[in-house]
A and B are shown apart, each in its own frame.
Chain A
Amino acid sequence: MKKTQKSIIKLENVWKIYEMGDVKVEALRGLSLDVKKHEFVAIKGPSGSGKSTAVNMVGCLDIPSTGKILLDGEDISLMGESDLAQIRGRKIGFVFQKFNLIPTLTAMENVMLPMVFQGTTAEDRQKRAKELLTMVELGDRIDHRPSELSGGQQQRVAIARSLANDPEVILADEPTGNLDSKTGKMVMFFLKKLHKTGKTIIMVTHDDKLAKHADRIEHLIDGKIEQKRKKRG
């Protein structure tokens, strides 16, 4: 896919400080990152280095203590909760390590749920959910509950769900962390497929083999990007 020079995500000197009673945890310490449209960026780093915190902030799940986060040129640290929710719903698709499907809903209903919150009509929801589940090769499992699906299948449902509102950005926080390497590869295959269709992808992973699929690997240590960046391609 042709890369443009246009930034879609830009973090400028972002600090995140969690205060738990008297203890202050500096999860991010001046993180700067620039992700271009259609880019596939892998983030690596030791556990506790702030990867999830960074990804959650890009995904508007939280706002920085200081610093700026620009999503499509808009500063999300200035937005209210309701606007953030709308942006999450429309522009971001999440894939979590723990799948995080709603256990009481079927695969189909899980994929339709993000569209419910955007007010999509029932007809459109069903059509799109079916398409997406077929794309992740689960067209024959649409009425299954998460508990009736394997880990890899659940993660594919989660991928389908992340695409429900056709977002520009997919955020995957250790999407293969709970899967064996074979199913992990399968999930990776679908993420690459999404990248080819033009999505911007940020993926957190420990696995060097999977990270190699990305256009660029960023190393996060102690809440900032390590300066010697490895570039690929």
Chain B
Amino acid sequence: MIKEYLNLILKSFKNRQLRSWLTVLGIIIGVTAIVALISISQGMENAITEQFQKMGTDSLRVLPPNLRGPPAGDMSLPAGVADYLEKSPYIDYIDRIILEFATVEYGNEEEYLFINAYDTELESKGFSDMDLEIEEGRAFKIGEKGNAIIGYDIAHDQFDKAVHLGTSIIVDGQKFKVIGIFEKTGINIDDRIYIPLDDAKVLFDREDEYNVIVAKVRAGVDIETAQENIEKRLTRKLGEDEFNIYTPAQLLEQINSILGAVQMVLVGIAFISLLVGAIGIMNAMYTSVLERTREIGVMKAIGARNGDIMTLFLLESGIMGLAGGVVGVIVGSIIAYMVEVIAALAGFSLLSISIDYQVVLFALAFAFVVGIVSGTLPAIRAAGLKPVDALRYE
């Protein structure tokens, strides 16, 4: 039975004008938004989780308060934080980090790049905590000065001429010899230049003001207990709102909640488009009922029950929704993959998109249901037409 109905509907679609197809646009946009959104945010969540796993699960991060962007330059922690952490019984060792934008000269080119100061006392410990491998060259030695380790993209893409080991770059007027190049990470480290902390302190005129401190928790200590205790004592010492201390899980949660807020806005847009699409379908179906009033009369005259007419029109509007959904899934997938490509071009190659078949099924089912729901009133009108009146309709 359904098969015959489908045949009837598809035949009538062939006669449709472009106008009524345009009304499905809202559904297309809505489904596109849903598919792209879910796929991209799933990819993003995976990427972020992966990045956080790289940070290690047993390090606390101490950051300046009220951050709006990366903690660089003036956004620094008050003096004394590093000393306190170093002496804390919960902490094994700390990595004091200075982040600063600086002009970097290489060849005849000058760029404005992110400089990351690294405490050479840690040797390669700080790198291995981040799962960061050196592809060419070596890590810093204790007390080493005047040398730099550069990110993969800095070495290969940043300047017209690739930066090789042993060549020199000039950071804010001071010369650094490149002794190492990191492997590709897919995250912002690819675009950074690491220099020794002692050099950075002089170069950027810092004494005890760090932008970030990563504190490695002693083996056997519960990271949450450590975080709570340090937070309490350090607040007593420095006052409220002078710093934030996070476990990796908390950071992940924070970022995901920002992601969630963005998602909510996009979901809102998706639903508004779907609503517009639904109204479009309803309108198209009312037109269709009107245009085919006589046909409805004929079908009733040859034995169609009200329920048959109802099913026919509901199915028709459902198929319109579904058609919009199919196009939306395709466009949404294309957009999601494009975002992956663009993210990779922008240096964020951890983002890998996969279109979940459950998302596709959900989106299609949803579009179908939206179609059916918006076709309900027109279908009721069609089914309720009196056969004689419908047959008299010109």
A residues with CB within 8 A of B: 56, 59, 61-62, 81-82, 85-86, 88-90, 94, 96, 100-105, 109, 112-114, 116-119, 122, 161, 164-165
Contacts and interface: CB of A to CB of B under 8 A. Distances in A.
A102 B295 CA distance: 6
A117 B298 contact: no
Interface in B345-394: 386-388, 391
Contact of A81 (B1, B3, B305): B305
B225 interface: no
A194 B3 CA distance: 32
B68 interface: no
Contact of A104 (B4, B12, B307): B12
Count chain A CB atoms within 10 A of each CB in B1, B3, B303, B308 and give the residue with the most: B303
B387 A105 contact: no
B304 A61 contact: no
A94 B387 CA distance: 13
B216 interface: no
A61 B11 contact: no
Interface of B: 1, 3-4, 7-8, 11-12, 14-15, 294-295, 297-308, 386-388, 391
Given A100-B391, A102-B295, A117 B304 contact: yes
Contact of B298 (A85, A100, A119): A100
Contacts of B391: 56, 61, 96, 100
B11 A85 contact: no
A56 B388 contact: yes
Nearest to A164: B302
Contacts of A105: 8, 11
B62 to A, nearest CB: 72
A49 B110 CA distance: 98
24 contacts: A56-B387, A56-B388, A62-B386, A81-B305, A82-B305, A82-B306, A82-B307, A85-B300, A85-B306, A88-B300, A88-B303, A88-B387, A89-B304, A90-B303, A96-B298, A100-B298, A100-B391, A102-B8, A104-B11, A104-B12, A104-B14, A114-B302, A164-B302, A165-B303
Contacts of A81: 305-306
Nearest to B15: A104
A86 B387 CA distance: 13
A164 B302 CA distance: 9
Contacts of A109: 7, 11
A114 B303 contact: yes
Contacts of A96: 298, 391
Contact of B300 (A61, A103, A119, A164): A61
A116 B304 CA distance: 9
Contacts of B11: 104-105, 109
**List of 10 A-B pairs having minimum Cβ-Cβ separation, nearest first:** A89-B303, A104-B11, A117-B303, A114-B302, A85-B305, A61-B387, A62-B388, A116-B4, A100-B298, A61-B388
Contacts of B8: 102, 104-105
Contacts of B15: 103-104
Contact of A117 (B14, B302, B386): B302
